[in-house]
Amino acid sequence: MFSNLQIRPAKPHRRKTSMAARAGVSKRRVSYISTTANDVPSMSLMEDLFGEEFPEAFGGSSGSTKSSKSILDLPPELLAIICEDFSNIDIKRLRLASAYLAKNVDLRIDRVYVSPNRANLQCLRNILDHPRYKYQIAELIWDDAQLDAYPDLDSFKQAVEWDEKVMQRNVERLVRKLGEGEPEADVEMEAFEDEDLFDSSGKLTEMAKDILLRHNSQFAKHVIAKNAISMSIEESYEIYQALYRQEQQIMKQEHDAAALEYTLENCPNLVRVILTSEVWRPWHLQPVYDTPFRRSLPQGFRKPSVWPWLSQRPYDTPARREYREGVMGNYVSDEEGSLPTEFRGYSILLSALATIEDTQVSEFIVYPGQETIGVSHHLFTTPNADFTNTLKMAQHLPLTRLALSINASCAFRTSTTYLRSGQLRTLLASMSHLEHLDLSLNGTERHEETAGAVVRPSLVFPASLLPRLKTFALRNATFPELELVSLISALTSAHHITLDNI
């Protein structure tokens, strides 16, 4: 009866196609999550979890799709605002991310360096050729630390080894200071001598590295890295000789002087000019000024310190002392003459500043760090071309700030001293806009014993200047006590007064 009956599997139940699908509209299932601002995970985590459905998964979303905008769509004006709180290194990294950011995110450059060195001059030229950077420059620094001549390897080695001994003493003090206040470290410190920190070749021992790394400071890492990669004396001497020849050639052709004039003419917002000797000091574990020249040196290069402005050095030779005393013990006898060649930077700066037009320069600073050196006392001892230019600058520029440090070495030997000549007083009297004065005399008539040789403040400071000064600093000077009190009393507008080693 049922011989022809065939049993077939039941057809699967098919869900009827929705009208949305038949209309060509795709619909995704979305889960809505309630959250608060305090427990929201990071954007990258949410994108990994939800993929293309982010941010539709949030309850506050109205179904909008993810935006395709990025930082590359921001205009330069907004990028500049964003970068205001970035460090310089972060800005440099951001510029490396894309060609657009490299073009539209500016470096933060407000200072330029001038010296007879190819790296400094090339960097300066790149900045001044940029359509925007030259308008950011507010400070110009002239590095007056000229390289010393070392005729042979032995003299070079002696200078380098002395610097490295200073560095070693600084590291020894640092390591001991790091252990202060830690009982475990104090016991460890008492167990070894300073010799345990360095081996016979001057390298840090493993013990010293361990103590430095335990504190995990950037400074400690810098000391370790610098110590680890130092090159040989012979290699360093070869590089140094090439740098010295290059510097001598630039000074001979006066390329640095031409670069200075070009900078003054093309930086309309320049405010401050600094003459300094502090770029290459052995006691600075970190540079005071991180110049392009310094950054261009190969890693591990061992460079001896520079002692500019005829300053005394710890490993002086009799010949060098005799030369310094011969130069500083005399004076400029010709009104058309200039300061000794060791003060070449001051002569070039003042020659340019005396004639510059349409400038905003209002601050001139001679910065010797903590040293009792500066521009030669010859400047104020007798009439000379550099004093004439200094006076022209004072009358020509509306200077509101002056910081002046004088190298008074051997000044007592001249028949007319730099304080009694009246030239310094004449200079200060000509500065009608001056409000901030920092004067380091670095020696007075201590070698004179007669009452007539006493230098009084009235020989240095004009009475019209003192009442309008807002800040006043006097360093390394000797005046009669009562007259010093009168001097301070005359500073009726001063907000801050500094007396250092008076």
CB 121 within 8 A of CB 259: yes
Q: How many helices (H) and strands (E) does the chain have?
A: 19, 9
- CA dihedral (170, 173, 179, 181) positive or negative: negative
As a whole number of angstroms, the distance between CA 132 and CA 155 comes to 46
Note the pLDDT of residue 445.
Answer: 45
More confident residue, 408 or 274: 274
| Strand extents, DSSP E, 183-338 | 272-276
As a whole number of angstroms, the distance between CA 276 and CA 325 comes to 22
Per-residue pLDDT tens digits for 171-223: 777 667 765 555 444 434 444 445 566 666 666 777 777 777 776 666 676 66
CB 89 within 8 A of CB 115: no
**What's the full length of the chain, in residues?**
502
Residue 240 confidence (pLDDT) above 60:
yes
Note the pLDDT of residue 11.
Answer: 60
What are the structure tokens assigned to 266, written together?
Answer: 């093309």
Task: Output the CA angle 17-19-20, nearest 5 degrees.
Answer: 105
Residue 306 confidence (pLDDT) above 50:
yes
More confident residue, 411 or 351: 351
What average pLDDT does the segment 287-305 reach?
87
Residue 479 confidence (pLDDT) above 80:
yes
Per-residue pLDDT tens digits for 446-467: 444 434 446 789 999 999 999 9
As a whole number of angstroms, the distance between CA 376 and CA 366 comes to 11
What are the structure tokens assigned to 380, written together?
Answer: 């104020």
As a whole number of angstroms, the distance between CA 33 and CA 361 comes to 62
Q: How confident is the model at residue 414 (pLDDT cuts 50, 70, 90)?
A: low
Per-residue pLDDT tens digits for 333-382: 888 999 999 999 999 999 999 999 888 999 999 999 888 899 999 999 99
Per-residue pLDDT tens digits for 119-134: 999 999 999 999 889 9
Terminus-to-terminus CA distance in the chain, angstroms? 134
User: 403 pairs with which residues across the strands?
Assistant: 365, 438
Return the CA Rg of the chain.
34
As a whole number of angstroms, the distance between CA 105 and CA 78 comes to 10
Per-residue pLDDT tens digits for 57-80: 555 545 455 557 788 888 888 888
Q: Cα dihedral angle (371, 372, 374, 380), rounded to 10 degrees?
A: 170
DSSP type of residue 83: G
- Tell me how crowded residue 83 is: count the other CB atoms within 10 A of its CB: 18
CB 272 within 8 A of CB 361: yes
What average pLDDT does the segment 16-29 reach?
54
Note the pLDDT of residue 387.
Answer: 96
Least confident of 84-93, 430-439, 449-458: 449-458
What percent of the chain lies above the pLDDT cut of 70? 73
Q: How confident is the model at residue 284 (pLDDT cuts 50, 70, 90)?
A: low
Note the pLDDT of residue 417.
Answer: 80
List Cβ neighbours of 200 (8 Å cut-off, separation of 6 or more). Answer: none
Residue 316 confidence (pLDDT) above 90:
no
List Cβ neighbours of 350 (8 Å cut-off, separation of 6 or more). Answer: 386, 389, 390, 393
Note the pLDDT of residue 279.
Answer: 79
Least confident of 141-150, 344-353, 414-423: 414-423
